[in-house]
Chain A
């Protein structure tokens, strides 16, 4: 089966600019996650979708970050305006259900964002 697709792979922007990341989960996976991973740290959950509804966005900085999941499939994560501390890897993951079951879930290849 095809994996989780993410784009772009890399992005460099200046502070105060906006940026958007795209994710296409594995077909049939109801749950989609966006994680932020700062260099040297573990992934931190930003937002979790179940189909096209938000399940958890408690750690999403809502003054600058937004995310949507269109028709319960693709998802976009936006940052506007970006700050230097947003420099990180942004990982998308999907699972069949919220449980992630035995296999955990599958991560995409990530987007490496550098804010200068």
Chain B
């Protein structure tokens, strides 16, 4: 079956670094996305990995290991506005493209 696991909640301090992990078991893997979602708002795109390795984009980086079914999102120099849910989503192809979302990790940044 298709399954994506993320921690439910994490807490970190302003200015620190936090790593949010995501493990997946899917068929027809075709890429992994990270989205940020503030409470009551729609998800917004953060990053995309389709090949193994690290993708860096400013304060945010995302890593993928396809052989291990594992990804992480790394947030550096945390700011209060980074308090949000972070959704891991896997794109799969089984005749048609489909996105499967994890339940999200709620990150609280403390002053």
Contacts and interface: CB of A to CB of B under 8 A. Distances in A.
Contacts of A102: 48
A99 B45 contact: no
Given A56-B98, A103-B45, A112 B89 contact: no
Contact of B35 (A40, A48, A55, A104): A104
Contacts of A42: 4, 87, 89, 101-104
B27 interface: no
A107 interface: yes
Identify whether the interface residues of B are mostly helix, strand, loop, or mixed.
strand
A41 B42 contact: no
Contacts of B42: 91, 107-110
Interface residues of A, number: 27
B87 A100 contact: no
A60 interface: no
A43 interface: yes
Contacts of A56: 96, 98
Contacts of B4: 42
Nearest to A98: B97
A104 B89 contact: yes
Contact of A45 (B35, B40, B99): B99
Contact of A55 (B40, B45, B96, B99): B96
A16 interface: no
Interface string A75-107: 000000000000001010000001110111111
Contacts of A99: 30, 91, 97
Given A104-B45, A110-B41, A112-B40, A40 B96 contact: no
Interface of B: 4, 30, 33, 35, 40-45, 48, 87, 89, 91, 96-104
10 contacts: A42-B87, A42-B89, A43-B101, A44-B101, A48-B96, A56-B96, A100-B91, A100-B99, A103-B48, A107-B42
